[in-house]
């Protein structure tokens, strides 16, 4: 009898853990911003290295474990602390009505009225202390921006975690998510938060297909339709929507 009870309890715990995991898939081949973005010419920027194909968030112990699956294998030719080199991610989380509509420095995006964010997680291969320091650039938003910990990579997947005490209460199924894919930049321009700009013309370490007036989104891929990254210089920034479990 005791064995049967323990078995049932174990099965219940597994079921509960599985229910708390949220996962999303994203189309392959949409790593071109609003459609015009061109990769830098240096060979380290291999085709598909910024193409997000799946994202998963799982509560594990006292942390939230994040996984980003990319179309191309992960490499670390720059010997970065996080075990990967060219990618970085911003995970925006919507947990309640309202929230921030502004993006973070270096992204040039805004969030739709029904998609304001309460927390933003920065996943970077830079040393943790450097990320913490850079987050100050977010000004009034910085209190709601969290540097990811335990960053690592294997095969096609980059992983990280955030302590749950830095996040709003679960369950994840009620949250909206948006994952913004950017490129790790150790020497960012102006007030950019470790991001690499999209210029009008590509170069060895610069993306092309954007606008040098700095009104275009500096974003390579997002969860959902790439049309979210359309913009009108001087009129409207690219406006991003949260993706929810219920959307599927």
Residues 6+ apart with CB under 8 A from 165: 62
> Would you state the pLDDT for residue 20?
84
Give the DSSP H/E element, type plus range, for residue 175.
none
Residue with tokens 């199924």: 173
Mean pLDDT, contiguous 10-residue spans, the chain (248 residues): 36 42 96 96 98 96 96 97 97 96 97 97 98 97 98 98 92 93 95 97 97 94 96 93 84
φ, ψ (nearest 5 deg) of residue 219: -140, 135
DSSP per-residue letters across 3-39:
HHHHHHHHHHHHHHHHHH-EEEE--TT--STTTT-B-
> Would you state the pLDDT for residue 159?
98
> Would you state the pLDDT for residue 209?
96
> Would you state the pLDDT for residue 248?
56
Residue 101's CB: how many other CB atoms inside 10 A?
14
SS3 102: strand
Helices (H), the chain: 2-20, 128-135
Question: How far is residue 156's CA from residue 121's CA, in Å, rounded to a whole number?
Answer: 20
> Would you state the pLDDT for residue 13?
33
Give 12: exposed, middle or buried? Use CB within 10 Å, 0-12, 13-18, 19+: exposed
């Amino acid at each position: 009898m005791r064995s049967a009870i323990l078995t049932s309890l174990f099965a219940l715990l597994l079921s509960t853990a599985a229910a708390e995991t949220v996962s999303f898939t994203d189309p392959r081949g949409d790593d071109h911003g609003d459609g015009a973005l061109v990769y830098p010419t240096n060979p380290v920027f291999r085709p598909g290295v910024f193409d997000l194909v799946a994202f998963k968030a799982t509560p594990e112990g006292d942390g939230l474990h994040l996984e980003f699956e990319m179309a191309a294998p992960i490499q670390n030719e720059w010997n970065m602390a996080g075990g990967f080199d060219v990618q970085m991610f911003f995970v925006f989380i919507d947990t309640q009505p309202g929230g921030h509509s502004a993006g973070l420095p270096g992204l040039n995006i805004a969030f739709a009225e029904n998609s304001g964010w309460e927390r933003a997680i920065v996943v970077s291969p830079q040393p943790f202390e450097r990320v913490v320091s850079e987050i100050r650039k977010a000004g009034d938003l910085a209190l709601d921006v969290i540097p990811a910990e335990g960053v690592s990579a294997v095969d096609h997947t980059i992983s990280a975690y955030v302590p749950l005490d830095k996040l709003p209460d679960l369950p994840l199924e009620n949250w909206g998510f948006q994952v913004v894919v950017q490129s790790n930049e150790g020497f960012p321009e102006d007030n950019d938060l470790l991001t690499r700009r999209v210029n009008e013309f590509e170069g060895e370490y610069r993306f092309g297909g954007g606008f040098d007036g700095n009104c275009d989104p500096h974003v390579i891929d997002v969860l959902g339709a790439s049309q979210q990254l359309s913009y009108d210089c001087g009129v409207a920034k690219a406006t991003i929507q949260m993706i929810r479990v219920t959307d599927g």
